[in-house]
């Protein structure tokens, strides 16, 4: 086939400009743990940062040593350098409200964790949680769908190199958010036949994929370890 007659691969237009979001926290329970650091930013089509904002919060509780070992923020640092949690949460909600109005893709790796956490924090501090549209992109869910049989872990640290993305400072909210956005953009380039679709349609597909993935994991766990195991469900925010 000549170049003139070749059909160009479809382009995922949603990947041309994306918002990225990530948090580092006091633990792994999104309903009860607290935000310590957070980042919102915008990436252009080349994955370069147009602009971004970091926050450091005093969560109002002790930061466990195991959490500090992950992200490096101690209770003392959060108390002396961080803003009060209520103020940070209000600013994060305002940023999320802008994202909702803009209609831009919001890339969040393992979205049910960070978005559920932020929703719980908003409720805790009496801040309205902005309702998002069908605009969430979750590289974890997409990766599990488009490359189902790849062996190994699916953490951001493990998956980034698969897509040619360099993650220099894992578990820094800004570095993780930016790498997540770049991974999403790389996925769009690598799998255009599956991902070059309207953003709202892709959002709905991810909800279906996430539910199917939870069902598969639940079945595996019940066969191998615990017959009563129940997988978490709800994408992109758990109720």
Q: State the CATH number of the domain containing residue 67.
A: 3.30.420.10
Q: What's the average model confidence in pLDDT over 201-230?
A: 97
Query: Is residue 3 assigned to a domain?
Result: no
- HSE at residue 135, side-chain half, CA atoms within 13 A, is 19
- Strands annotated E in the chain: 18-25, 35-43, 49-58, 83-84, 106-107, 136-137
DSSP conformation class of 182: H
Query: Is residue 238 assigned to a domain?
Result: no
Residue 50: the pLDDT is 98
Number of domains, the chain: 1
Query: Is residue 128 assigned to a domain?
Result: yes
- The bridge status of strand 136-137 relative to strand 18-25 is unpaired
For residue 111, give its domain range. Answer: 13-224
pLDDT in tens, 95-105: 999 999 999 99
Reported as a pLDDT band with limits 50, 70 and 90, residue 4 is very low
Residue 11: the pLDDT is 74
Report whether pLDDT(2) > 50: no
Nearest to 103 by CA among 235, 206, 199, 237: 199
Residue 33 CB contacts under 8 Å (≥ 6 apart), including other chains: 25, 26, 27, 117
Query: Is residue 168 assigned to a domain?
Result: yes
Identify any residues that bridge with 56 across adjacent strands, giving them in sequence order: 37
The rounded percent of the chain whose pLDDT value lies above 90 is 94
Report whether pLDDT(6) > 60: no
pLDDT in tens, 20-66: 999 999 999 999 999 999 999 999 999 999 999 999 999 999 999 99
The rounded percent of the chain whose pLDDT value lies above 70 is 96
Residue 63: the pLDDT is 98
Report whether pLDDT(75) > 90: yes
Query: Is residue 239 assigned to a domain?
Result: no
Query: Is residue 4 assigned to a domain?
Result: no
pTM for this structure? 0.94
Residue 8: the pLDDT is 54
pLDDT in tens, 140-169: 999 999 999 999 999 999 999 999 999 989
Quote the mean pLDDT of the chain: 95
Query: Is residue 207 assigned to a domain?
Result: yes
Query: Is residue 235 assigned to a domain?
Result: no
Lowest model confidence (mean pLDDT) among 50-54, 169-173, 197-201: 169-173
Q: What's the average model confidence in pLDDT over 218-227?
A: 96
Q: What is the largest CA-CA distance in the chain?
A: 65
Q: What's the average model confidence in pLDDT over 109-114?
A: 98
Report whether pLDDT(9) > 80: no
């Amino acid at each position: 086939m000549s170049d003139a007659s070749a059909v160009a691969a479809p382009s995922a237009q949603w990947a041309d400009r994306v918002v990225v979001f990530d948090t580092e926290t006091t633990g792994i329970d999104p309903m009860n743990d607290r935000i310590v650091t957070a980042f919102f930013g915008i990436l252009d089509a080349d994955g370069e940062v147009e602009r971004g904002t970091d926050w450091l919060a005093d969560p109002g509780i002790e930061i466990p040593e195991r959490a500090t070992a992950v992200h490096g923020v101690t209770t003392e640092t959060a108390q002396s350098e961080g803003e009060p949690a209520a103020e940070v949460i209000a600013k994060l909600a305002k940023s999320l409200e802008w994202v909702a109005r803009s209609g831009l893709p919001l890339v969040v790796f393992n979205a049910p964790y960070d978005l559920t956490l932020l929703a719980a924090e908003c409720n805790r501090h009496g801040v309205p949680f902005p309702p998002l549209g069908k605009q969430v992109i979750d590289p974890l869910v997409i990766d599990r769908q488009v490359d189902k049989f790849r062996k190994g872990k699916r953490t951001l640290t493990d998956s980034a190199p698969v897509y040619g993305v360099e993650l220099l400072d894992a578990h820094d909210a800004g570095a993780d958010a930016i790498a997540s956005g770049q991974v999403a953009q790389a996925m769009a380039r690598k799998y255009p036949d599956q991902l070059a679709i309207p953003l709202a349609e892709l959002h709905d597909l991810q909800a279906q994929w996430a539910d199917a993935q939870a069902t598969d994991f639940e079945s595996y766990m019940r066969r191998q370890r615990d017959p009563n195991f129940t997988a978490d469900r709800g994408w992109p925010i758990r109720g």
